[in-house]
Each structure stands twice: as C-alpha cells, then as structure tokens.
Amino acid sequence: MTALSQTALLLELAPVVEKNLDRHLAIAKEWFPHEYVPWSEGRTFDGPLGGEAWAESDSTIPDVARTALIVNLLTEDNLPSYHHQIATLFGRDGAWGTWVHRWTAEEGRHGTAIRDYLSVTRAVDPVALERARMTHMSAGYRNAHDEEMLHSLAYVSFQELATRISHRNTGRAVGDPVCEALLTRVAADENLHMIFYRNLLGAAFEVAPGQTMRAVADVLANFQMPGNGIDGFARKSVAIALAGIYDLRQHRDEVVAPVLRQWDVFNVTGLDADGEAARDQIAAHLDDLERAAARFEEKRDARAARLASR
C-alpha cells in the first residue's frame, strides 16, 4: 500500500469533516463570555486612569490555582499561531475552511473570558501577566510534525482533551464558584473540539491505517502541552501536577488511554509493517506512562506525608 499524500488525505476526509461539522454546529450551544464575569467586583487600576495598583493581597485564590490560570490563559492566548497552523494545513476552503474559522472563533472566547475574569477579580498581577503574554506570543508556537496532517489531527485529539481536563480541574482548584462555572463552560467547548478531531482521526484509521498508527505513535512519543513555551513552564507544570490539576496519571488514564480506546487501536486491521511497529510503540508507551505515573504518585504521597508531619 502506498502512502496517501497530504492532498489525498484532505480529499478523502472532506466528507467526514462535513458530517462532523454539521454535528458540531447542531450540538454546540451558544454562550456569552460576559455573563461569566462578575463585573461589579472590578476596580480601576493605576496608570492613565489613576486607580489602584494591583497588590498581592488583592488575590484571594490559592497560589497554584493562580499558576494554572496563567498557564491556561497564556496557552489560549497563542491562538493566532494555532490558527495559522491549521489554516495552512487544512486550508481555508470548503468544509475544512469552515471548521478552521469556526474553531478559531470558539477558541477566541476562551482567552477573552478568562482574562476578563482575572482582571475584574484581581486574581493575578496584570502587569506580569501582560509581559508574560508578550513574551509567549512573540515566540509564536509550532507543534512537532506541523506539516503532517495525520500527526496534527492526532496531536489535537489528545491536546483538546488535555486542555479540557486542565481547565476543569483549575476551576475546582480556584475555589470560586464563578470561576468554576466559567472554566466548566470552556472545558465543554474543548470536549466538543476533541470529539471532532477524534472522529476525524478515527476515519483516517479506515482510510490509511498504517500511516495513521504511525502518526499516533510519533505524537505520543513526544507529546508536549501547547503552553510548553511559557516562561518557567517546567516549574509551573510541576506545581500543577502536585496539585492534581494535570499530572501524569491524568494524562495516561484520562487523556491518552480513552482516546486510544475510542480508536480501538489494538484491533485495527490492515496495518503494514511500519503500522504494526507503531502499534507496538504505542503499547510500550502506555506501559512507560503507567510506570512514570505510579512513580510520580509515590513521590507526591511521600511529599504530602512529609509536609503533614512537620
């Protein structure tokens, strides 16, 4: 079996895009970011308007929730780079183009809503946040294999679900029902995005099983969250993992494994030799993740016990 070209894949999957786009538009509920922001709690900041500067004491939420909100927001902020990637790869015409623009419009709400909430509630330092945004966006974003259609579809299937879980758990960690409601709403969008991409890649397994398996194996082997370019990302993600907002256990059990199960990767037929090799790599990767997650949980428990005994 010869490998399908990027163009052939786009054409083969176009009817699937059309069907899933219709499905998405029928179930996606309209919502309004402004309704999730407690505007009357806001106060004017210093600067040209002469209000009060942000002070550490303004923020009443846990440190780690603040970190997670910043990471999630900066991740959403890089939308122009993500748009560029998918517009380049999927094109701007036909059903693919309609999806690209619609997805971008939906994602645009996320950053807007979270930033409004953070500004009004003074939950984070707005100057530091703006500087971090400038640094992060100025670097732009590229995911690995960004010129490969199947790799990109595999990546976003996992990434949208990872983002959903991260928003959802951040909402809980903040301890403010208003913020939780907002992030739950955002997480619901991410879930629909995940389903769209997951269905598309599921169809790709039928069209080009070996190529698709290879793409999934490659993507899992070096999966990075889209915010990995954020200043201090490594340190921040450790804090986020320790708080159980997004850790290896969740990555394995709530993101990677369920998506693989939906594709039924271990029962896909018609694989070529490389597809079989890729599937073996996926199985090995799941085992590696299991060991790493268990090790992490042990360390986290030991740390918690140490802190409790102080």
**Minimum CB–partner distance for residue 82 and Fe ion (Å):** 9
CA distance linking residue 297 with residue 95, whole number of Å: 44
CA distance linking residue 22 with residue 12, whole number of Å: 17
Contact 304, 297 (CB under 8 A): no
Nearer to Fe ion, 160 or 247 (CB): 160
164 interacts with Fe ion by CB under 5 A = no
Nearer to Fe ion, 192 or 292 (CB): 192
**Minimum CB–partner distance for residue 162 and Fe ion (Å):** 10
In terms of phi and psi (left: phi > 0; alpha: psi -120 to 50; beta: otherwise), the region of 77 is alpha
Nearer to Fe ion, 13 or 194 (CB): 194
Binding mask 176-215 for Fe ion (x = CB under 5 A): --------------x--x----------------------
77 interacts with Fe ion by CB under 5 A = no
**Minimum CB–partner distance for residue 66 and Fe ion (Å):** 19
**Minimum CB–partner distance for residue 290 and Fe ion (Å):** 27
Residue from 65, 78, 107, 260 that binds Fe ion (CB under 5 A)? 107
- Identify the residue whose tokens are 């960004």: 146
CA distance linking residue 235 with residue 16, whole number of Å: 40
> Hey, which residues between 123 and 162 contact Fe ion (CB under 5 A)?
160
**Minimum CB–partner distance for residue 43 and Fe ion (Å):** 28
Nearer to Fe ion, 54 or 158 (CB): 158
CA distance linking residue 301 with residue 310, whole number of Å: 15
Contact residues for 201 (Cβ-Cβ < 8 A; gap 6+): 150, 153, 154, 157, 212, 215, 216, 263
Give the number of C-alpha atoms closer than 13 A to the C-alpha of residue 308, restricted to the C-beta side. 6
**Minimum CB–partner distance for residue 293 and Fe ion (Å):** 24
The torsion angles phi and psi of 225, rounded to 5 degrees, stand at -65, 150
Q: 35 is written with which tokens?
A: 């309704």
CA distance linking residue 129 with residue 126, whole number of Å: 5
Nearer to Fe ion, 87 or 242 (CB): 87
Nearer to Fe ion, 104 or 281 (CB): 104
Residue 103 identity: W
Q: Which residues bind Fe ion (CB under 5 A)?
A: 107, 110, 160, 190, 193
